[in-house]
């Protein structure tokens, strides 16, 4: 392995920069040439890459987002487009690639590996939806951001004796909703992995809890829960319980911000380890 590439793809996640830094520093210290590929597989196909050195990754460990930018490139699922990427790798002399991203990015990395360009995937997504990985890069920061935002919503929810129905990200997975919900002491948490009867799970529970003197409620809903739209749910809760209700969609604020200690540390370790695996030809 003389020359390796590094890219970030799919939804960005806090800590991706720390992973890029570790890949570049480990690669350079091992005597490799390291190419930074811009905008994921899109940039790879276009040959949009540049040589990086120890200084290229200064001052990024604490920054959210990704200095290599990210993109969605749906056409990369097509075999001919992957062949084009293999040609570009030959042209630039790339012997292997470290691909940082979520499950879609991993599928692209697998396809490239099968076509002769060894890739190592680093799990980077706030959704935490990568098999065999307990904590993906960005998940911990996003959880802390959600917790902070919901704590703020709670202040006003409590002041007005209201119910807040809050939608959080996670694509088709409920990890963010579940653990953020536990951390904020939510009355109910809805995740896509479980089917719910709204009347028994939310309405009855709220009514029961109201008899104990509670007047404000936080309901966390994962965006992947099918057939539930938070503003309609808030209206329904108000109708059935009499508690004034509001809906909040947290949105892309969940993906930004400076990475937590945990994300910086796992990203640094994974970046280092990915280069070690390429050195040992494990991606092949």
Q: Which residues are catalytic?
A: 127
Residue 125 in the binding site for ligand F6P (CB under 6 A):
yes
Instruction: Out of 1, 7, 11, 108, point to the residue binding ligand F6P (CB under 6 A).
Output: 11
Instruction: Out of 8, 105, 128, 145, point to the residue binding ligand ADP (CB under 6 A).
Output: 105
Residue 107 in the binding site for ligand ADP (CB under 6 A):
yes
Distance CA 111, CA 51 (A): 24
> Is the CB of 12 or the CB of 95 nearer to ligand F6P?
12
> Is the CB of 26 or the CB of 125 nearer to ligand F6P?
125
Instruction: Out of 5, 10, 121, 259, point to the residue binding ligand ADP (CB under 6 A).
Output: 10
The DSSP code for 10 is S
Shortest spacing between CB 170 and ligand F6P, in angstroms: 5
Of the candidates 88, 81, 85, 131, the one whose C-alpha atom is nearest the C-alpha of residue 106 is: 131
Residue 41 in the binding site for ligand ADP (CB under 6 A):
yes
Most distant CA pair in the chain, distance: 71
Residue 27 in the binding site for ligand F6P (CB under 6 A):
no
> Is the CB of 15 or the CB of 102 nearer to ligand F6P?
102
Residues touching ligand ADP, count (CB under 6 A) = 18
- Counting every residue written for the chain, the total comes to 284
Of the candidates 180, 277, 269, 273, the one whose C-alpha atom is nearest the C-alpha of residue 223 is: 180
Residue nearest to ligand ADP (CB): 104
Residue 103 in the binding site for ligand ADP (CB under 6 A):
yes
For ligand ADP, the binding residues in 66-95 under the rule CB under 6 A are: 72-74, 76-77
For ligand ADP, the binding residues in 112-141 under the rule CB under 6 A are: 125
Instruction: With beta carbons less than 8 A apart as the criterion, state whether 2 and 95 touch.
Output: yes
> Is the CB of 41 or the CB of 139 nearer to ligand ADP?
41
Distance CA 118, CA 277 (A): 10
> Is the CB of 169 or the CB of 247 nearer to ligand F6P?
169
Residue 15 in the binding site for ligand ADP (CB under 6 A):
no
Instruction: Please report, as ranges, the residues that interact with ligand F6P according to CB under 6 A.
Output: 11, 102, 125-127, 169-171, 223, 255
Instruction: Please report, as ranges, the residues that interact with ligand ADP according to CB under 6 A.
Output: 9-11, 41, 72-74, 76-77, 101-105, 107-108, 111, 125
């Amino acid at each position: 392995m003389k020359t390796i590439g590094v890219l970030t793809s799919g939804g960005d996640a806090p800590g991706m920069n720390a992973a890029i830094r570790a890949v570049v520093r480990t690669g350079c210290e091992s005597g490799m040439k390291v190419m930074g590929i811009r905008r994921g597989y899109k940039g790879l196909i276009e040959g949009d890459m540049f040589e990086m050195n120890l200084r290229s990754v200064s001052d990024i460990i604490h920054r959210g987002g990704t200095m290599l930018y990210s993109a969605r490139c749906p056409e990369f699922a097509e075999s001919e487009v992957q062949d084009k990427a293999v040609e570009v790798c030959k042209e630039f002399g790339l012997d292997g690639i470290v691909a940082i991203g979520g499950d879609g990015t991993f599928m692209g990395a697998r396809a490239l590996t099968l076509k002769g360009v060894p890739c190592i995937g680093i799990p980077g997504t706030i959704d935490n939806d990568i098999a065999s990985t307990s904590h993906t890069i960005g998940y911990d920061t996003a959880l802390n951001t959600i917790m902070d935002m919901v704590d703020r919503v709670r202040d006003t929810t409590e002041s007005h004796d209201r119910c807040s129905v809050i939608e959080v990200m996670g694509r088709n997975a409920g990890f963010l909703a579940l653990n953020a919900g536990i951390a904020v002491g939510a009355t109910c948490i809805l995740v896509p992995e479980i089917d719910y009867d709204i009347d028994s799970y939310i309405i009855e529970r709220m009514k029961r809890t109201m008899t104990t003197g509670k007047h404000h409620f936080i309901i966390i809903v994962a965006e992947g829960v099918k057939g539930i739209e938070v503003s309609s749910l808030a209206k329904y809760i108000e109708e059935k319980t009499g508690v004034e209700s509001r809906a909040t969609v947290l949105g892309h604020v969940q993906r930004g911000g400076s990475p937590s200690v945990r994300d910086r540390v796992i990203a640094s370790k994974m970046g280092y380890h990915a280069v070690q695996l390429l050195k040992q030809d494990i991606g092949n």
